[in-house]
């Protein structure tokens, strides 16, 4: 396919003001459709919808929000309302001292040596995925398959082999929560206080309560039996200590952080791989080059082969640019400030539309095109123009884990199959909590 003249699917951004009701309805359908088209060519866009808001696409202003004055821009009220029922006051949404000690305690678990030690689980999941694809009827849904593969990884590295951990129950509970509860309501758009009930969230969450009970039982059983050899993520977090205070996580803190890593650790990587496979099928020349590199590094892809897979890793990065799983994040200004020459008042919502940043015409040439060469060695860019994992001190703690997993699985699959598009089955980028391919990613896989 000639990818110069044809572009992969993109979100139709707003061409006119939406109003309060229109914004609420749009946010429930696809949060990214709230972004005005003009945001792709402006460093900042501001407005008012019940609350004052600012969308920031300027790397310098983003550096200020995420790094230089991070304490002045905590996670937004909406973010906490959506996620706290699922993951409590864990690392992802905690602020200040509560965030700091958890980050310090958890950091050793994601040290390079520990991430590399978990690579055999990723290799095994990649090979199991290849076997399922080979046996599947064609075409197959690559999104569903990548969800299965990455959930195998995260459940193995989190609660390795624990019989009391019901993977299917946890998986269905998380999916159900995202589908039914983790949606923006009109009260969120209006800036209603957190104590005002959101009707759509009142009657949900039974599956999550059961999931928390399952996790609690697994943690208690591990405490009774002792650590695994080699240690898994649960063991590493149990042994983690804040070096400043000596504090370690109690059982509920362990549970909330493990559920955070389960949600983030499989959903985001599954999405990255789904879009990467779609893009490789979309551009056969890119696929051929990545597949040749993977075959030369094989036959079995482990962490040791990653230095021989630079182009595969470029494909992963470009997939993250075009379809960042966390494509829209927001903060609430705590103090008065100035961003891009605009006055920011306490209580203003500061939106970081990563999707618009990654497709911004002032930052990227031909930004809607799929081109892994953007990430070739030696290509320079502002660090805050590419933020698939956020930036600053709150950058995703599992970024290296996710990149390693994505490269191992993608290389394994490209080495074994040629992927082709299915006519009439184009995935629609739709964001509720993450940027998912609505309708799935339907591909044909032919053994090489």
- From 13-17, 98-102, 165-169, the region with the lowest mean pLDDT: 165-169
When comparing pLDDT for 293 and 184, which is higher?
293
* pLDDT recorded at residue 143: 96
Asked about 396 being catalytic, the answer comes back as yes
Residue 190 has pLDDT above 50, yes or no: no
Q: In the chain, what percentage of residues exceed pLDDT 70? A: 89
Angle between helices 142-158 and 167-180 (to 10 degrees): 120
Residue 288 has pLDDT above 90, yes or no: yes
* pLDDT recorded at residue 317: 98
* pLDDT recorded at residue 193: 54
User: Across residues 85-101, what is the average pLDDT?
Assistant: 86
* pLDDT recorded at residue 187: 47
Closest among 299, 266, 309, 300 to 149, alpha carbons compared: 266
Residue 2 has pLDDT above 50, yes or no: no
Binned at pLDDT 50, 70 and 90, residue 357 comes out as: very high
> Annotated binding residue at 396?
yes
- N-terminal to C-terminal alpha carbon distance within the chain: 19
User: Across residues 175-181, what is the average pLDDT?
Assistant: 64
Residue 142 has pLDDT above 70, yes or no: yes
* pLDDT recorded at residue 119: 94
When comparing pLDDT for 23 and 284, which is higher?
284
Closest among 413, 110, 120, 403 to 287, alpha carbons compared: 413
Q: In the chain, what percentage of residues exceed pLDDT 90? A: 60
* pLDDT recorded at residue 204: 53
Average pLDDT, the chain: 88
At 330, give phi and psi (nearest 5°): -145, 155
* pLDDT recorded at residue 194: 52
Catalytic residue among 92, 151, 328, 389: 389
User: Across residues 189-205, what is the average pLDDT?
Assistant: 50
* pLDDT recorded at residue 205: 60
Residue 382's region, left for phi above 0, alpha for psi from -120 to 50, else beta, is beta
Asked about 272 being catalytic, the answer comes back as no
Domains of the chain: 19-447 (1.10.630.10)
Catalytic residue among 268, 332, 349, 412: 268
Give the contacts of 17 (CB within 8 A, at least 6 positions apart).
47
DSSP state of 376: S
Residue 3 has pLDDT above 60, yes or no: no
Binned at pLDDT 50, 70 and 90, residue 178 comes out as: low
Tokens of 162: 């624990």
User: Across residues 380-386, what is the average pLDDT?
Assistant: 96
Asked about 389 being catalytic, the answer comes back as yes
User: Across residues 110-129, what is the average pLDDT?
Assistant: 94
* pLDDT recorded at residue 1: 41
Closest among 318, 424, 433 to 368, alpha carbons compared: 318
- Residues 298, 290: Cα–Cα separation, whole Å: 12
When comparing pLDDT for 391 and 218, which is higher?
391
Catalytic residue among 77, 159, 384, 396: 396
């Amino acid at each position: 396919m000639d990818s110069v003249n044809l572009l992969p699917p993109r979100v139709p951004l707003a061409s006119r003001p939406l109003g309060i009701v229109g914004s609420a309805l749009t946010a429930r359908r696809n949060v990214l459709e709230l972004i005005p088209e003009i945001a792709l060519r402006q460093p900042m866009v501001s407005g008012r919808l019940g609350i004052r808001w600012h969308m920031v696409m300027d790397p310098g202003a983003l550096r200020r929000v995420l790094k230089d004055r991070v304490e002045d821009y905590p996670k937004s009220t909406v973010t906490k309302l959506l996620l706290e029922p699922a993951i409590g006051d864990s690392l992802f949404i905690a602020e200040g001292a509560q965030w700091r000690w958890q980050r310090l305690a958890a950091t050793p678990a994601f040290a390079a040596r520990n991430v590399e030690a978990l690579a055999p689980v990723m290799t095994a999941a990649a090979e199991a995925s290849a076997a399922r694809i080979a046996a599947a009827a064609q075409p197959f849904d690559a999104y569903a398959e990548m969800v299965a593969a990455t959930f195998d990884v995260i459940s193995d590295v989190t609660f390795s082999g624990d019989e009391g951990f019901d993977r299917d129950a946890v998986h269905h509970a998380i999916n159900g929560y995202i589908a039914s509860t983790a949606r923006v309501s009109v009260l969120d758009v209006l800036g209603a206080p957190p104590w005002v009930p959101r009707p759509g969230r009142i009657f949900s969450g039974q599956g999550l309560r059961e999931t928390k009970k399952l996790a609690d039982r697994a943690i208690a059983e591990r405490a009774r039996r002792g650590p695994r050899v080699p240690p898994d993520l649960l063991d590493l977090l149990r042994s983690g200590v804040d070096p400043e205070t000596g504090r370690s996580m109690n059982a509920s803190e362990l549970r909330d952080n493990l559920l955070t890593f389960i949600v983030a650790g499989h959903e985001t990587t599954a999405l990255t791989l789904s879009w990467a496979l779609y893009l490789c099928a979309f551009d056969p020349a890119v696929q051929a080059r990545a597949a040749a590199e993977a075959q030369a590094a094989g036959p079995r892809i482990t962490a040791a082969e990653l230095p021989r897979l630079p182009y595969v890793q470029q494909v992963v990065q470009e997939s993250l640019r075009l379809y960042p799983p966390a494509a829209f994040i927001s903060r609430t200004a705590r103090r008065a400030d100035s961003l891009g020459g605009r006055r920011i008042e306490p209580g203003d919502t500061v939106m970081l539309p990563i999707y618009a940043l990654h497709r911004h015409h002032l930052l990227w040439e031909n930004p809607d095109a799929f081109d892994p060469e953007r990430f070739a060695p030696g290509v320079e860019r502002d660090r805050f123009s590419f933020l698939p994992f956020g930036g600053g001190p709150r950058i995703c703690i599992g970024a290296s884990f996710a990149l390693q997993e994505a490269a191992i699985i993608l290389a394994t699959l490209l080495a074994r199959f040629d992927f082709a598009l299915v006519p009439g089955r184009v995935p629609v980028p739709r964001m509720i909590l993450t940027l998912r391919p609505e309708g799935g990613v339907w591909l044909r896989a032919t053994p090489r």
